[in-house]
């Protein structure tokens, strides 16, 4: 049995989020941050390998409020500093600008950590190089949020490009996460179920696609969906990270429908409050009883 359920690799971000009504919130963020809190608060034993300019950011303090997390901080010459401006009430459209990015993760700086899943949770292209994927696959089941391969920083802005090495790298991937827009960039398909099937045919074993209405999973046999039931979207930031981290760790002990329902209920509850998920498994179970 592994020491950790999941090792989450990705930078902690310094975020400024501007809502469609002009409300501005400065906060710690990043996929590793939202993912770590979500999985740990569900009772999973989590290791995180966050990276930032450690002269400016206390990485252990960033995760201090989460249970079951062991932090292995890595220093970078710069931190990831970004601003997200949301244009619509559903928060589906946003403009992101980036002031600075981290030094890329290197295979030789990853400590020897025994985890069932290695969850690659970078934020932009270059954070996590293609070579990290087969390296991770030598150690554990690989989960990857494809945003780290599609989002690119150009002239201070965030733009999306297809992942050149996708056909080569997807066979190493046990769990692949995209949102609806990213799935279309990868496959050219607007139908999420068809996109998931194509991504499976390219080698990924289990595909999770988030959308503002539902979460979809495909395992090569069946399409599974579960509706998002958040009563408000004040905590929209971190939706995909929260969903994916919960889903992959729940899959260690649950079948797809159960893991999908748990993850979708968790993210629905999380989106009602700013910041990472700070509740418990009991809170998610109560939410499922009421709304699912």
Residue 65: which CATH number?
3.40.1190.20
For 265, how many CA atoms within 13 A lie in the half-sphere containing its CB? 22
Say what the pTM is.
0.94
Lowest-confidence pick of 76-90, 98-112, 253-267: 76-90
Find the distance separating the first CA and the last CA of the chain, reported in whole Å: 32
With 0-12 / 13-18 / 19 or more C-beta atoms within 10 angstroms meaning exposed / middle / buried, residue 129 is middle
Strand bridging mode 141-145 / 115-120? parallel
pLDDT beyond 80 at 92:
no
Q: What is the DSSP letter of 248?
A: H
pLDDT at 17: 83
Lowest-confidence pick of 63-67, 74-78, 116-120, 152-156: 152-156
Closest C-alpha to 46, from 110, 144, 113, 138: 113
pLDDT beyond 90 at 16:
no
Q: What is the DSSP letter of 253?
A: T
Closest C-alpha to 146, from 173, 110, 108: 173
Instruction: Band the pLDDT of 53: cuts 50, 70, 90.
Output: very high
The boundaries of the domain holding residue 190 are: 4-291
Q: What is the pLDDT of residues 154-182, one digit of tens each?
A: 998 889 999 999 999 999 999 999 999 99
What are the structure tokens assigned to 7, written together?
Answer: 């090792």
What are the structure tokens assigned to 50, written together?
Answer: 């966050």
How many domains does the chain contain in total?
1
Q: Which residues pair with 9 in a beta bridge?
A: 49, 120
Q: What is the mean pLDDT of residues 12-29?
A: 88
Q: What is the pLDDT of residues 109-152, one digit of tens each?
A: 999 999 999 999 999 999 999 999 999 999 999 999 999 999 99
């Amino acid at each position: 049995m592994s020491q950790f359920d999941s090792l989450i690799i990705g930078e902690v971000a310094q975020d400024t989020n501007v809502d469609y009504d002009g409300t501005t919130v400065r906060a710690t963020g990043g996929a590793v941050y939202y993912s770590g809190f979500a999985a740990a608060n569900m009772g999973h034993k989590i290791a995180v390998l966050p990276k930032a300019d450690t002269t400016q950011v206390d990485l252990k303090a960033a995760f201090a409020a989460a249970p079951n997390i062991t932090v292995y901080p890595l220093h970078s010459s710069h931190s990831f500093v970004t601003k997200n401006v949301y244009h619509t009430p559903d928060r589906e459209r946003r403009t992101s600008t980036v002031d600075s990015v981290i030094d890329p993760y290197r295979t030789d700086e990853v400590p020897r950590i025994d985890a069932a899943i290695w969850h690659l949770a970078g934020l932009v292209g270059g954070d996590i190089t293609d070579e990290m994927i087969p390296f991770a696959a030598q150690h554990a089941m690989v989960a990857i949020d494809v945003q780290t391969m599609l989002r690119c920083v150009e002239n201070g802005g965030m733009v999306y490009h297809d992942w050149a090495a996708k056909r080569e790298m997807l066979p190493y991937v046990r769990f692949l996460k995209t949102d609806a827009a990213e799935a279309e960039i990868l496959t050219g398909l607007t139908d999420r179920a068809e996109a998931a099937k194509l991504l499976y045919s390219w080698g990924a074993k289990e595909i999770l696609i988030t959308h503002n209405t539902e979460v979809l999973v495909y395992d090569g046999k069946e399409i599974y969906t579960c509706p998002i039931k958040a009563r408000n979207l004040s905590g929209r930031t971190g939706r995909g990270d929260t969903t994916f981290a919960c889903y992959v760790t729940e899959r260690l002990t649950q079948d797809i429908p159960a893991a999908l329902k748990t993850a979708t209920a968790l993210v629905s509850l999380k989106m009602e409050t700013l910041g990472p998920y700070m509740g418990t498994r009991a809170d998610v179970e109560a939410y499922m009883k009421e709304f699912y």
